[in-house]
C-alpha cells in the first residue's frame, strides 16, 4: 500500500471526524479537537487521537462521552466515506501531548524567571 493512499485516508478520517464532532448535539463533544490519525498499513484500523483545549477539568467527562458515542461515530463516518471500499475500524485515544507540552513550557518559563531574578 502506498504512503500517498495511507496519507489520504488519514486526512479524510481526520477531516470527517472533526466535522462530525463539531456538529454533534453533546456540548462536551464540541470541545474535542482531533490532533491526528494513524492508519495501519493494511488500512483496517485507525487510531484517532483527540484532545481538549482549556477544558482539562472536564477531560474525564469528555473521554467518557467519546467512548459512549464511538460506535455511532464509526457508523456515521463509514457512511460519509462510502466512496472508500472499506473504512478502517476507528479507535479513539486521548492525546496528552498538548497538555504535556504546556507543562514543559510553564516549567521553562519558571526557570527563565528564576534566572532573571538571580541576575538582578
C-alpha angle 37-94-55 in degrees, rounded to nearest 5: 120
The model carries a pTM of: 0.78
DSSP label of 88? P
In whole numbers, what is the pLDDT of the chain averaged over residues?
A: 86
CB count in 10 Å sphere of residue 80: 17
**Domain spans in the chain, listed from the N-terminal domain onward:** 3-95
H-only helix segments in the chain: 3-22, 59-80, 97-119
CATH, domain 3-95, list 1.10.645.10, 3.30.300.20, 3.30.420.40, 3.10.580.10: 3.30.300.20
Which tens digits make up the pLDDT trace of 4-53?
888 989 999 999 999 888 887 877 788 888 999 999 999 899 999 998 87
Q: Is the dihedral of CA 83, 65, 28, 7 positive or negative?
A: negative
Amino acid at each position: 500500500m502506498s504512503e500517498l493512499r495511507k496519507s489520504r485516508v488519514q486526512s479524510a478520517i481526520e477531516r470527517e471526524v472533526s466535522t462530525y464532532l463539531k456538529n454533534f448535539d453533546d456540548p462536551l463533544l464540541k470541545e474535542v479537537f482531533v490532533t491526528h490519525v494513524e492508519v495501519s498499513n493494511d488500512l483496517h484500523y485507525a487510531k484517532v487521537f483527540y484532545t481538549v483545549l482549556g477544558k482539562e477539568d472536564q477531560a474525564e467527562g469528555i473521554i467518557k462521552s467519546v467512548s459512549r458515542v464511538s460506535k455511532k461515530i464509526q457508523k456515521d463516518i463509514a457512511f460519509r466515506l462510502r466512496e472508500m471500499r472499506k473504512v478502517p475500524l476507528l479507535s479513539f485515544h486521548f492525546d496528552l501531548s498538548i497538555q504535556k507540552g504546556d507543562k514543559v513550557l510553564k516549567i521553562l518559563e519558571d526557570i527563565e524567571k528564576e534566572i532573571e531574578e538571580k541576575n538582578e
